A and B are shown apart, each in its own frame.
Chain A
Amino acid sequence: MVTYLWLKEIRAQVYTWKGTLWLVITSLLFSFTSYLLLTDKELSLLDQTELLWLLSKVIISVAFLIVAIDSSSIINSEFEKETAESLFLSPISIKDFVFGKLLASLTLWFAIFMVATPYIVVTSLGTHLALPFLGYVLFLGTVGISGTVILFFGVSFLYRSAKNTLTTSLIVLLAFSVPALFSSALKNNGLAQMFGRINPLENIFACLDNVLVDYRLSLSENWRYLWPLFIFCVAAFVFLIFSLNKFQKQGVVKSV
């Protein structure tokens, strides 16, 4: 049943050219970024590893944005198209439903990663960092995006409105991204440091910086960035369980 739900979502995604155009635009964005990073006169003065780090941030940011938008609507579309009621009348458990949708959202991330792979390889040439770059982007992206998708699924079950869930998701994503714009002085502030410790996006960027710029490749050397990511996933999962319990108590048709 999980496979059925997953394939149903993927088929719906690739059924029309409109559903796949975003992947072409993503590849154009990666093309533009990697070409710019490697050829721009001013940027070319930077160390190549710093360019890899910039590219990794672009890949992760694009993936978070696309998956956030998708996960905000993938569950709510069932409520808004009024297909949820018939779906839950079929022999399908809520766990299978959520897991199928989670796989569908993660497939988008894997599609983005597949498109990003040639760019990662070509920009890493000469640095011996291609494999760590690929491995860490895949690992960190999968963990971070899984947590984010689970969090937005929780919001979806609470709101049952694609518009409201999307607005909330984008604001949460913006909140995760804003510290990247802070200056070093602001980042040293106690509150900013505390937020940085729990912010999944910042932990991913810091970990990639540690790997690509500082050559600290082992998992043990990056553990301080990994455990907050796992805690974020667990917290998101707990929130999803809470939302699901509330949803199951209220039923498909939410009582006002």
Chain B
Amino acid sequence: MYKHNLYHNWVKILIYIAVIVLLLDINGFNVQSQQHTQSNPLVLEILSADKLSGTAGDYVNVKAQIKNTSQQPITDVTTYLSLVDTQNKLPVDLEDWSAEKGLYIGTIEPDQILPLNWKIHFVKAGTYSLIVVAIRAGSEIPQVSGTISFHVNPKHNLNPGQVLPVALGMPIMLILIFSIVFYKRQTKMRF
């Protein structure tokens, strides 16, 4: 009887402990996710995803937006583009692509949405991934948009139909003209 009661108490104690641990864990998870939301209240979205493909040499506009989802104004935010050449697995130096530098936002009010625009020059053919990054002062974790993939087609100025006849024809024509002139002169001199 005594053994049975002792066993019963131990089971109770274990159940209490399990319930307490479970409660603590749920609470901790909520605190963490609340902290995460609070640390990244900015939401970034690329709007011109379907218009980004083109040919090398084209200028395209990257349109995005940033939203402050918190109830507090956020200050000192810098947004910029990050581009990766997914074929060669290399980050791309956007200076070559004539992209403007980071866009600075002094203050973004609660629930305010601000447009972000960059003009970039497609320089090299390939497949690329683009994201918009926002960094705010005092935050250790940057906020990023979803990744957008796009393809840049190669540009071929090759127009042998136009340039080749001139490139080959002009020297040949000059050689022919001078040859005829000198041949006629020599023939005249002989007779």
Binding site for B on A (CB under 8 A): 14, 16-17, 20, 23-24, 27-28, 30-32, 34-35, 38-39, 41, 44-48, 51, 115, 118-119, 122-123, 125
Contacts of B57 in A (CB 8 A): 45-47
Q: Which of B4-12, B70-78, B127-135, B162-170 contacts A (4 or more CB under 8 A)?
A: B162-170
Among B154, B159, B182, which residue has its beta carbon within 8 angstroms of that of A38?
B159
Min C-beta distance of B58 to chain A, whole Å: 11
Among B157, B163, B178, which residue has its beta carbon within 8 angstroms of that of A24?
B178
Among A27, A31, A44, which residue has its beta carbon within 8 angstroms of that of B156?
A44
The answer to whether B157 and A48 touch across the interface, beta carbons within 8 angstroms, is yes
Knowing A31-B166, A34-B163, the reply to whether A39 touches B171 (Cβ < 8 A) is no
Q: Which B141-187 residues sit within 8 Å CB-CB of chain A?
A: 154-160, 162-164, 166-171, 174-175, 178, 181-182
Binding site for A on B (CB under 8 A): 56-57, 123-124, 154-160, 162-164, 166-171, 174-175, 178, 181-182
**Which one of B123, B156, B171 has the greatest number of beta carbons of chain A within 10 Å?**
B171
How many residue pairs at the A-B interface have CB separations less than 8 Å?
65
The answer to whether B156 and A45 touch across the interface, beta carbons within 8 angstroms, is no
Among B162, B170, B178, B181, which residue has its beta carbon within 8 angstroms of that of A115?
B170
The answer to whether A118 and B170 touch across the interface, beta carbons within 8 angstroms, is yes
Knowing A38-B158, A39-B157, the reply to whether A24 touches B175 (Cβ < 8 A) is yes
Contacts of B170 in A (CB 8 A): 27, 30-31, 115, 118-119
